[in-house]
C-alpha cells in the first residue's frame, strides 16, 4: 500500500538489518530501497552506528530502515556499538537477520534476543550469488534456526522482490485499528471535539484526524461537534449514535448528556489501545489509586523537544496526583531517551500518550516495566482514574 511521504515516523514500519561485518547489510538496503544511500565497502566495520532512513519501500509503503554495525564487531568500541544496536531494537517491528553460511553461532544470541523481545524475524541468506549451492546452505540454516530463509543478492537483485513481498505481508497483518471492537461498518459515531484556546488554529489535532479518517474508511457515518453543539448534533440524528468519542477534557460533561444506548470512549483511550496495551494501562491506573502517600512515581514523556502537552505531564498530572495522594509523593519527570534503565526505585510509571513513538517502542517500555515489576499506565488513563471517570469509559 503506497502511503504519502508525510507519514509520521511513529506510523512507519521500522525495519532493522542485523548481520556480521561484510555480510552485505548496507548493500541489501540499497537494493531494497533502489537508492545508493548506505555506504558499502569490503572493509569490515564500514557501518558503525545505527543509521536510520525514512523511505517509501516498494510494495510495503512508508518505512524507516535501520542499518547497524556488524554483530561480530570486535573493535574497542564494540560494546557501545552493540548497545546502540539494542536500542535500535526498541523501535524495531521486523528484523532482517543476514546469514553468510550454515555456521549460525554468532547469530544465535541475537536470534534469542529478538525472540525474547517478540520481534518478527525474517532470515536472509545474503550474497547468494557467491554460493555454489545456495539452496542447500539455506536449508541447513533453516534446520538450525527454525527460520524460513529468503535467498538474496544485493548485487544481482535476486530475491529482492520476494523479500519485499514477505515484509509487506507480515506488516499488513500487524496493521491495527484505533476503533477495533468499538464500532463497525454502518454505525453512527459522534465525535465531540472542543475547539477552544488550547486547540491549534485552523486544523484538527492528529488523534482526531486519524480517528475521523479511520471511521470513514470503515464505512461509519461520522458526525463532528463541539460540547456546545453536542445536543444539536444528537437531536439531528434519528437514533442515538452507537458510539461517542470525546476529548477527555470534557468527558464528564459528555458522560452526563449522552444517550443511554451510546457507548462512550475518548480519543486518549483510543490512542492508548492503539499505542500500548490498554489492559496493562487500566491495571496500572487502578494500582495508582491505591498507592501509599510516600510512593515514588516516574512520569515519562516521549518528546525531547518542548512538548505541546507539557502542562499535562509537568503541571496538571502532578497536581492531580498530589491532590489525590498528598504532598509527600515523590515525582520524577523524564523526557525522550532519558527513560531510566533501572526502574526498581519506582512504585508506578505514568507514560505520555507517545504520539511520537511507534507502538513497538511503547511496548518495549511496557515490557521493561513489567520485567522490573513496576505497574505502568499512561496520561489519558491515569487522568481518567484520578478524575473518577475510568469506570465510565468503554475500551
Ligand atoms: N557478490 C556480492 N557481493 C556483495 C553482495 N552484497 C555485498 N557485497 C559486497 O560485500 C562487501 C560488504 O558489503 P556491505 O554492504 O558494505 O556489508 P555490510 O554488512 O554493510 O558491512 P559492515 O558495514 O562492515 O558491517 C562489499 O564489497 C559489497 O560490494 C552480494 O549480494 N553479492
Ligand atoms: Mg554496512
At 258, which CATH number? 3.40.50.11420
The pLDDT of residue 206: 86
Say if residue 38 is in the same domain as residue 151: yes
Three-state secondary-structure class, residue 389: coil
Domain final residue, candidates 270, 302, 326: 270
* Domain match, 314 and 369 both: yes
CB 309 within 8 A of CB 359: no
- Answer whether residue 181 is part of any domain: no
| Residue where a domain stops, chosen among 218, 242, 270 | 270
Ligand 1, closest atom to CA 154?
Answer: 31
Asked if residue 138 and residue 14 are part of one domain, the reply reads yes
pLDDT of residue 3: 45
Which atom of ligand 1 is the closest one to the Cα of 98? Answer: 19
Judgement on whether residues 19 and 133 belong to the same structural domain of the protein: yes
Q: What is the pLDDT of residue 2?
A: 43
Same domain, 17 and 144: yes
Identify the CATH number of the domain in which residue 164 sits.
3.40.50.300
Pocket test for ligand 1, best of 40, 131, 160 (most atoms within 8 A of CB): 40
Cα–Cα distance for residue pair 233/190, rounded to 1 Å = 8
Per residue in 164-204, pLDDT (tens digit) is: 999 999 998 777 899 999 999 999 999 999 998 778 889 99
Ligand 1 proximal residues by C-beta, below 6 Å: 19, 21-27, 40-42, 44-47, 70, 126-127, 129-130, 153-155
Q: Are both 235 and 209 inside the same structural domain?
A: yes
Residue 200 DSSP class: P
Inter-residue contact 28 to 98 (CB < 8 Å): yes
Is the domain of 147 the same as that of 21? yes
- Whether residues 226 and 254 fall in one domain: yes
- Which atom of ligand 1 is least distant from the CA of 29? 15
Q: What is the pLDDT of residue 356?
A: 80
Give the pLDDT score at 306. Answer: 58
- Outline where DSSP puts E strands in the chain: 13-19, 51-57, 61-67, 94-99, 120-125, 149-151, 188-192, 221-225, 243-246, 263-266, 296-301, 330-335, 348-351, 376-378
For position 305, what pLDDT does the model report?
56
Strands 61-67 and 51-57: antiparallel
pTM of the predicted protein model: 0.73
CA 28 to ligand 1 centroid distance, Å: 8
Number of domains making up the chain: 3
The answer to whether residues 365 and 225 belong to one domain is no
Any domain includes 183:
no
Domain end position, chosen among 210, 245, 270: 270
Residues 240 and 369 in one domain: no
14, part of any domain: yes
* 3-state class (DSSP) for residue 41: coil
Domain-embedded: residue 65: yes
- Ligand 2 centroid vs 138 CA: distance in angstroms? 22
- CATH number, position 340: 3.40.50.11410
Q: Which domain holds residue 240?
A: 188-270
- Taking CA atoms only, the protein residue closest to ligand 1 atom 27 is 42
Q: Whole-angstrom distance between the N-terminal and C-terminal Cα of the chain?
A: 29
Same domain, 246 and 313: no
Choose which residue among 17, 19, 23, 24 to substitute to test ligand 1 binding: the one with the highest number of ligand atoms within 8 A of its C-beta.
24
- Asked if residue 160 belongs to a domain, the reply is yes
320 belongs to a structural domain: yes
Outline where 223-309 has alpha helix (H): 230-235, 251-257, 267-275, 278-289
Whole-angstrom distance, CA of residue 42 vs CA of residue 50:
18
Question: What would the pLDDT profile of 292-305 be if each residue is shown by its tens digit?
Answer: 999 999 999 887 65
Residue 98 counted as domain residue: yes
**What is the tens place of the pLDDT at every residue in 67-123?**
999 999 989 999 999 999 999 999 999 999 999 999 999 999 999 999 998 899 999
- Please count the CA atoms within 13 angstroms of the CA of 353 that sit on its side-chain side: 20
Residues of the chain with pLDDT under 70: 1-5, 304-310
b/e map of 342-371 (b: 16 or more CB within 10 Å)?
Answer: ebeebbbbbbbbbbbbbbbbbbbbbbbbee
List CB-based neighbours of ion ligand 2 within 5 Å.
25-26, 46-47
Are 341 and 297 in the same domain? Answer: yes
Asked if residue 178 is part of any domain, the answer here is no
Amino acid at each position: 500500500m503506497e502511503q504519502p511521504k508525510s507519514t509520521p515516523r511513529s506510523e512507519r514500519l521500522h525495519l532493522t538489518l542485523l548481520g556480521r561485518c561484510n555480510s552485505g547489510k548496507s548493500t541489501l538496503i540499497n537494493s531494497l530501497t533502489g537508492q545508493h544511500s548506505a555506504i558499502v565497502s569490503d572493509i569490515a566495520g564500514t557501518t558503525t552506528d545505527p543509521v536510520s532512513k525514512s523511505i517509501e519501500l516498494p510494495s510495503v509503503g512508508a518505512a524507516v530502515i535501520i542499518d547497524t554495525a556488524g554483530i561480530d564487531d570486535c573493535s574497542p568500541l564494540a560494546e557501545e556499538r552493540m548497545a546502540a544496536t539494542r536500542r535500535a531494537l526498541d523501535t524495531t517491528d521486523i528484523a532482517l537477520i543476514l546469514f553468510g553460511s550454515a555456521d549460525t553461532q554468532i547469530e544465535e544470541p541475537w536470534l534469542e534476543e529478538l525472540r525474547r523481545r517478540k520481534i518478527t524475524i525474517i532470515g536472509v541468506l545474503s550474497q547468494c550469488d557467491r554460493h555454489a549451492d545456495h539452496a542447500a546452505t539455506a536449508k541447513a540454516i533453516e534446520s538450525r534456526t527454525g527460520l524460513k530463509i529468503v535467498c538474496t543478492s544485493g548485487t544481482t537483485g535476486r530475491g529482492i522482490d520476494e523479500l519485499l513481498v514477505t515484509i509487506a505481508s507480515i506488516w499488513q497483518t500487524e496493521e491495527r485499528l484505533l476503533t477495533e471492537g468499538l464500532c463497525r461498518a454502518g454505525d453512527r459515531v459522534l465525535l465531540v471535539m472542543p475547539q477552544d484556546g488550547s486547540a491549534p488554529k485552523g486544523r484538527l489535532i492528529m488523534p482526531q484526524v486519524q480517528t475521523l479518517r479511520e471511521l470513514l474508511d470503515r464505512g461509519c457515518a461520522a458526525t463532528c461537534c463541539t460540547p456546545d453543539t453536542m445536543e444539536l448534533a444528537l437531536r439531528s440524528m434519528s437514533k442515538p449514535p452507537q458510539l461517542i468519542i470525546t476529548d477527555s477534557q470534557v468527558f464528564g460533561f459528555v458522560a452526563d448528556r449522552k444517550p443511554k444506548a451510546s457507548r462512550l470512549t475518548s480519543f486518549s483511550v483510543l490512542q492508548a489501545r492503539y499505542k500500548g496495551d490498554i489492559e496493562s494501562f487500566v491495571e496500572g491506573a487502578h494500582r495508582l489509586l491505591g498507592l501509599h502517600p510516600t510512593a515514588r512515581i516516574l512520569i515519562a514523556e516521549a518528546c525531547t523537544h518542548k512538548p505541546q502537552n507539557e502542562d499535562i505531564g509537568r503541571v496538571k498530572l502532578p497536581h492531580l496526583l498530589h491532590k489525590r495522594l498528598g504532598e509527600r509523593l515523590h515525582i520524577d519527570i523524564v523526557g525522550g531517551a532519558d527513560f531510566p534503565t533501572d526502574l526498581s526505585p519506582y512504585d508506578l510509571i505514568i507514560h505520555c500518550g507517545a504520539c511520537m513513538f511507534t507502538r513497538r517502542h511503547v511496548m518495549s517500555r511496557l515490557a521493561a516495566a513489567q520485567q522490573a515489576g513496576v505497574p505502568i499506565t499512561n496520561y489519558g488513563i491515569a487522568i481518567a482514574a484520578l478524575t473518577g471517570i475510568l469506570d465510565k469509559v468503554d475500551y
